[in-house]
Amino acid sequence: MIKIAICDDEAHARTYLTALIEAQNTPCEITQYASADDYVSDRAEHDLLFLDIALNPSVQGKSGMELAKQIRENSQITQPLIIFVTGYEQYVYDAFDVNAFQYLIKPIDEQKFAEVFARAVRQILAGTQQNKKTLVIRHGGVEKNLLPDNIYYIESHSHKVVIHKKDGQLECYAKIGDLEEALQGQFFRIHKGFLINLSYVEEYSRTQVILANGAKLPVSKYKYEAFVKAHLRYLQ
């Protein structure tokens, strides 16, 4: 069951989006929010968020963009795919700052909506399958099963690796190349010493990647183009 949130300060927009979602015949649970504050105070986690980028902050709290930034800055929650829905095209470039999945312009074209929704569902389900897999490592003579979604990145140190997780670090004997093979798809090796989780990429340049936990990691000049392609492929 896919958990979907709609956050829009216009009641008719929320109703219309709900009808469009229900028309896709995808098993889901839909929750509506009239403001960013309502969304935050509910403390619920969602797989997909339809968000009005131009929520009126003067009415109740944050704007849609401020809410999106707050969500992306919270590394302790499941990160939803964000689809911005708005009547203002000038915000389209801002959407990239928060790694938005897509941007839909009001009035919403139903065929376009169906295409975007189908892609979002495919990515969510693919991520769900990936998260069912575990990374098996040996630590202190004991096998441990780690969820890939709990890992920000893996760092290689000689014959050891340091696994940077949401709940701390874990050091063990392993080859980063073997881990790269085991985690292919969701992870990418941006440098001989760093394997990153593509889910947590916040910003990047030709020389550096910034992850959701604030880590700033170097990108090999030989890896940059392949990294960009892998990241875009992962987001599709």
User: For the chain, what is the mean pLDDT?
Assistant: 88
pLDDT reading at 129 higher than 60: no
Q: pLDDT grade, residue 170 (50/70/90)? A: very high
Selected residue with higher pLDDT from 233 and 229: 229
pLDDT at 58 over 90: no
Phi, psi of 154 (to 5 degrees): -125, 135
Measured between alpha carbons, how far is residue 184 from residues 130, 139, 195, 234 in Å?
10, 22, 10, 11
Q: Is the pLDDT of residue 79 over 90?
A: no
> What are the DSSP E strand ranges found in 100-192?
102-105, 135-139, 142-146, 151-157, 160-165, 168-173, 187-191
Which amino acid belongs to residue 127? G
Give 135-145 pLDDT, tens digit per residue: 888 887 788 88
Query: With bands split at pLDDT 50, 70 and 90, how would you rate the model's confidence at 118?
Result: very high
- What are the extents of the domains in the chain? 2-131, 134-235
Query: What is the per-residue DSSP string for 172-188?
Result: EE--HHHHHHHTBTTEE
**What's the whole-model pTM score?**
0.58
Q: Which residue has the tokens 């030709």?
A: 206
pLDDT given for residue 132 in this prediction: 54
| The residue to which tokens 């911005």 are assigned | 84
CA atoms of 195 and 217, how far apart (whole Å): 10
Task: Supply the pLDDT for residue 133.
Answer: 66
Q: What is the pLDDT of residues 60-71, one digit of tens each?
A: 568 888 899 898
3-state percent helix, strand, coil for the chain, nearest multiple of 5:
35, 30, 30
For the domain covering 2-131, report its CATH number.
3.40.50.2300
pLDDT of res. 34: 93
* Distance, CA of 236 to CA of 232 (rounded, Å): 6
- pLDDT at residue 101, rounded to an integer: 85
pLDDT tier for residue 215 given thresholds of 50, 70 and 90: very high
Average pLDDT in the 194-215 region? 93
Confidence of residue 100 (pLDDT cuts 50, 70, 90): confident
CATH 2.40.50.1020, domain 134-235, yes or no: yes
Structural contact between residues 104 and 116, judged by C-beta atoms closer than 8 angstroms: yes
Between CA 161 and CA 33 the distance in angstroms is 43
Share above pLDDT 70 across residues of the chain, in percent, rounded to a whole number: 91
- Interval 114-125 mean pLDDT: 90
The pLDDT assigned to 143 comes to: 83
| pLDDT band at residue 166 using 50, 70 and 90 as cut-offs | confident
